[in-house]
Amino acid sequence: MTLHNEKILNYIGGDMREPESGDYIETVNPATGKAYALVPDSDTEDLQRAVDAAKNAFPGWRDTSPEDRAVIMNKMADLLEDNFERLVDAEVNDNGMTRGFASNVEVQRGAANLRAFAKASLEFCKPRHFKQDNAEGYVSHQPVGVVATISPWNLPLLLFTWKIAPALASGNCVIAKPSEITPMTASILSTLANDAGFPPGVLNIVHGTGPKIGNAITSHPDILRISFTGSTATGKAINMACAEQFKKPPSLEMGGKNPSIVFDDADFDTALEGIKTAAFANQGQICLCGSRVYVQDTIYEKFRDALVEKAKAIKIGDPAEEGTQHGATVSEDHMNKVLSHIELAVEEGGTILCGGKRHEMEGRCADGYFIEPTLIEGLDNSCRTNQEEIFGPVATLIPFSTEEEAIALANDSTYGLAASIWTQDHEKAIRVADNLETGMPWINCWNLRVLETPFGGFKNSGNGHREGVPDAMEFFTEKKTVTAPKLGGL
């Protein structure tokens, strides 16, 4: 018999609620391979209760001043910080991420997201006045009403708060669906929402699967905006469903197959460490990870050999233990998917330089889902391994000779989310960045985030919307222009 230490509940209308059907699904600790909690398998009845609660709460939340909304959001950030260790433990157990990553990146960003949008709302929600010779007036942003957010499993708290924060700050009521694979931090957040001061119905958290509750969200006529982060295939399906309801343009932040370009004039040690981190951070389960590594031929062999040694030295272990650098892959299904891609790379003619297989653990992690950091060379840029998103600790290496060739190789992809460029020639770095078909090129760094800048990608990595301050708030609002003759009345 499976022992479940916890039963997660939906958070609807300010109350913790069982799913109407009484149905639950298991969530598994990927480091141990053991189920440890039950998650609501919500359906349309649960969603309708959440929609009704949000609709009832919307007039009051819309009319709450930005200053008062900001106070509540900052209080929520305070509560996340007060529960820091509890949230870190939840991410380690739920996702398999290392304690260091959960502490230094994931949980800190959850609180920072709430604070950034709370601050931004104070200016964003103010009317912008204009005057001309014959007219005067103002432009205001108005919340649309009931909105939904669908967040993924790879950065559960970070991306959950990244989505709900702009929606709440701009005056909307939210129905948030976290991944059923990693529901725990969203569940903890729901237990803090009332103490933060959110009125009942302003924030609702409904758990369940994509096919069941996710599809119900995309088709519900009263949900007027949907913000989604996840795979390109799912994003396309959401886009098609929303197209049938013209009033609901989704914001889609989707996959990446990101290039890392190393020129021979790069600071060798800085680039080496940066490329390693970009390839293997959070077990390669970040949409921004650099999985295609292009190295100038004059330093290719030296850089390749040094990177292989770096990858071999990464400490794989129990993610709950301090000092572990590489934790578990999020689920057994995803582990098998990544391993199948490695097998495909060999079939396509690739040579595995290191890794390439499941990492066997002992003790409590003997049944966990661990994959060794894997580097592969000898593949053509057009092969499936270099074109399809793997979303695991797998990177390929390809040499190039000229700046133009590097740009062409990097742009030879259906994705265009991020990139990193490593060179000490500033003019060259800018030229390359300007010519890459990607939304976020980094120069001599990787994943250096400024929350007050647009986040998103080109091609199949997005659909034109951007997240970040203030772009996400633009998405969750409608602009209204009020104009009158210049009579001094406005």
pLDDT at 13 over 50: yes
Residue 4 has pLDDT above 80, yes or no: no
d(CA 397, CA 401): 14
The pLDDT confidence band at residue 176, using thresholds 50, 70 and 90, is: very high
Tokens of 103: 């502490």
What whole-number percentage of the chain has pLDDT above 70?
A: 98
pLDDT of residue 361: 97
Range 462-475 average pLDDT? 95
pLDDT value at 2 more than 60: no
Residue 460 has pLDDT above 60, yes or no: yes
Q: What span, in angstroms and rounded, lies between the C-alpha atoms of 350 and 370?
A: 22
Rounded CA separation 248/269 (Å): 48
**pLDDT at residue 104 is higher than 90:** yes
Read off the pLDDT of residues 303-342 as tens digits, 9 standing for 90 and up. Answer: 999 999 999 999 999 999 999 999 999 999 999 999 999 9
* CB-based contact 329:371 (threshold 8 Å): yes
Q: Which residues contact 336 (CB under 8 A, 6 or more apart)?
A: none
Are 402 and 428 spatial neighbours (Cβ–Cβ below 8 Å)? Answer: no
Q: Is the pLDDT of residue 490 over 80?
A: no
User: What pLDDT sits at residue 18?
Assistant: 98
Q: What is the pLDDT of residue 149?
A: 98
The average pLDDT across 120-131 equals 95
Instruction: Assess whether pLDDT exceeds 60 at residue 79.
Output: yes
Q: What is the mean pLDDT of the chain?
A: 96
At residue 6 the predicted structure's pLDDT band, cuts being 50, 70 and 90, is: confident
pLDDT band for position 243 (cuts 50, 70, 90): confident
Q: Would you place residue 244 in the very low, low, confident or very high pLDDT band (cuts 50, 70, 90)?
A: confident
Q: Which two tokens stand for residue 30?
A: 């990927």
Q: Which candidate, 478, 476, 472, 475, places its Cα nearest to that of 162?
A: 472
CATH code 3.40.309.10 for 258-443: yes
pLDDT tens for 267-291 read 999 999 999 999 999 999 999 999 9
Which of 253, 372, 389, 467 does the annotation list as catalytic? 253
Q: Does position 99 have pLDDT exceeding 80, yes or no?
A: yes
Of 97, 126, 450, 442, nearest to 284 by C-alpha is 97
Q: Of 173, 242, 287, 365, which is the active-site residue?
A: 287
Reply yes or no on whether 321 is catalytic: no
Is the confidence at residue 480, as pLDDT, over 70?
A: yes
Does residue 1 have a pLDDT over 50? Answer: no
Known catalytic membership, residue 287: yes
Q: How far apart are CA 205 and CA 9, in angstroms?
A: 9
Mean pLDDT of 448-463: 96
| pLDDT greater than 70 at residue 405 | yes
| Least trusted range by pLDDT, from 1-10, 268-277, 391-400, 411-420 | 1-10
6-254+462-480, what's its fold? Answer: Aldehyde Dehydrogenase; Chain A, domain 1 (3.40.605)
User: Does 3 have pLDDT greater than 70?
Assistant: no
Cα→Cα distances 218→42, 56, 82, 96, Å = 15, 20, 34, 29
Nearest of 420, 353, 478 to residue 62 by alpha carbon: 478
Q: Where are the alpha helices (DSSP H) in 7-152?
A: 44-63, 66-82, 84-95, 99-101, 107-124
- Domains of the chain by residue range: 6-254+462-480, 258-443
Q: What is the pLDDT of residue 247?
A: 65
Please give the average per-residue pLDDT across 159-174, as a whole number: 98
Number of Cβ atoms within 10 Å of the Cβ of 67: 11
Same topology, domains 6-254+462-480 and 258-443? Answer is: no
